[in-house]
Amino acid sequence: MKKVLSMLLVFALAFSIVGCGAKAEESSEGSGATEPVVTETQETATSYKIGIVTPTLSTSEDEYRAAENMVAKYPDIVKHITLPENFSTEIETGLSQITSLADDPEMKAVIVVSGQAGLLPALQKIEEKRPDIITMTAPIWDDPELMSKYIDVCIDTDWVRRGETIARKAHDMGAKTIIHYSFPTHMAKEVIVARRDQMKATAEELGMTFVEVTTPDPQTGNGPAAMQQFLREDIPRQIEKYGVDTNIFGTNCPMYDVIIDEALKLKFIVAEQCCPTPTQAYPTVMNLELSEEDAGNFDKINQMISEKAAEADMTGRLSGWPVPVTVYVPEYAVELAKKMIEDESFDYKNLDNLKAFSEETFGVSAEFNTLKPELDNYFVLIMESIFY
């Protein structure tokens, strides 16, 4: 409701700037020159901007390219700026860059995309300075209670519930055992522990064996190499013990270069990576030959993965999400902001509306929930799966 006045102002402006379509007709008088004749067709011109803030290309390629995709799609609407390369040491600069977007009188939405904390103060300042601007995160990781209070729309992945959905999917794919690989510094994080607990509880509910294995810690030891070597040696032992109807899950992205490679050889199940995307490990392990123009063509990448899975006799044993969530969420946020600006009747707090909007706009289904029942503007999502 806080945006009703601003939306009315936007539409008042829209209907006050009306352009008339015209067509040329040949005159029967004078020299035969044509004159424009006004038709009944009228086109409403709406002038507004959406600002999106992301890390730099070298810091987070997916999020940066997602914003650039939106600039290419809506060049007159979307303005993209980046946070400082070293945000942790240049926090004030980053906050100033975000708040500066509100200086543009045409700015109607500001979206901040950065998987880190410390950005909320900038959005609070925008809220105070320009309450007509829709503020959105896609995502940031400040305190959810405060985010819900000061930000209009918050979007993130449902990291915890994935513990349940991964276990159920693995079961549907034929898994009788789930092996969960992690290490101490990861298991010190509340979200990862909560996801593990849901995965374990769901596995036991479905009659599956749940096994936890601790790897060398890449954050306190010799980096990912020791962890990967451990996986290379331990996974064959676990598959020999539990059989090929075993799902392997690891909590760390570099684990999947080994996990997927071993899956292609040993034929166990990988229902989902820690970050479920076709661009994690699959292109490297499968030696996919991708041109620069195909780098963001996820339909083609998924097709190539499916072909490689079939060659390895692994059809139906590998799965993930069809689009990187780090690309999908920023693009979804821009499209949602555009929808909210142009259609004041759109109920963005209706979870079914958010799902339908995803299907209509991206051709991808995503199930939305609120992070907590009382946080009715903080949405977390689970995307549909693709089976290779």
The pTM for the full model equals 0.84
Question: Does residue 50 have a pLDDT over 70?
Answer: yes
List the domains of the chain with CATH numbers.
4-44 (no CATH), 49-151+326-363 (3.40.50.11400), 162-320 (3.40.50.11390)
Chain segment 114-166, per-residue pLDDT in tens: 988 999 999 999 999 999 999 999 999 999 999 999 999 999 999 999 999 99
For residue 358, pLDDT beyond 50: yes
Q: Is the pLDDT of residue 224 over 80?
A: yes
- Report the pLDDT averaged over residues 237-252: 98
Q: How far apart are CA 190 and CA 291, in angstroms?
A: 39
Average pLDDT score over the chain: 89
Q: Please check whether residue 157 is in contact with residue 273, taking contact to mean a CB–CB distance below 8 angstroms.
A: no
- Arithmetic mean of pLDDT, 46-67: 93
Q: Looking at residue 296, what is its pLDDT?
A: 85
Q: What is the pLDDT of residue 88?
A: 79
Decide: helix, strand or coil at residue 279.
Answer: coil
What residue has token string 């479905």?
206
32: pLDDT strictly greater than 80: no
> Percentage of the chain with pLDDT > 90?
83
Please give the pLDDT value at position 40. 37
- CA of 215: how far to CAs of 76, 187, 223, 323, 330, in Å? 50, 11, 12, 29, 33
- What is the rounded CA–CA span in Å between residue 352 and residue 328? 18
The alpha-carbon radius of gyration of the chain (Å, integer) is 25
**Paired tokens of 103:** 């200086």
Note every long-range contact of 69-74, with CB atoms under 8 Å and residues 24 or more positions apart, other chains counting: 69/296, 69/327, 69/331, 70/330, 70/331, 70/334, 74/50, 74/334, 74/338
Do 188 and 214 touch, CB atoms closer than 8 A?
no
Q: Fill in the DSSP letter of residue 31.
A: T
Instruction: Using CA atoms of 161, 166, 167, 171 in order, give the dihedral in degrees to the nearest 10.
Output: 140
Residue 46's pLDDT band, with cuts at 50, 70 and 90, is low
Q: In the prediction, which pLDDT does 70 show?
A: 98
**Beta partners for residue 210, in sequence order:** 178
Beta-bridge partners for 114: none
For range 247-267, the mean pLDDT: 97
Mind listing the pLDDT tens digit for each residue in 166-219?
A: 999 999 999 999 999 999 999 999 999 999 999 999 999 999 999 999 999 999
> Per-residue pLDDT averaged across 364-381, rounded?
97
Q: What is the pLDDT of residue 319?
A: 98
- pLDDT digits 0-9 by tens, 267-316: 999 999 999 999 999 999 999 998 888 888 999 999 999 999 999 999 99
Alpha helices (H) in 286-348, listed in sequence order: 298-311, 325-342
In the predicted structure, residue 18 carries a pLDDT above the cut 90: no
Length of the chain, please?
388
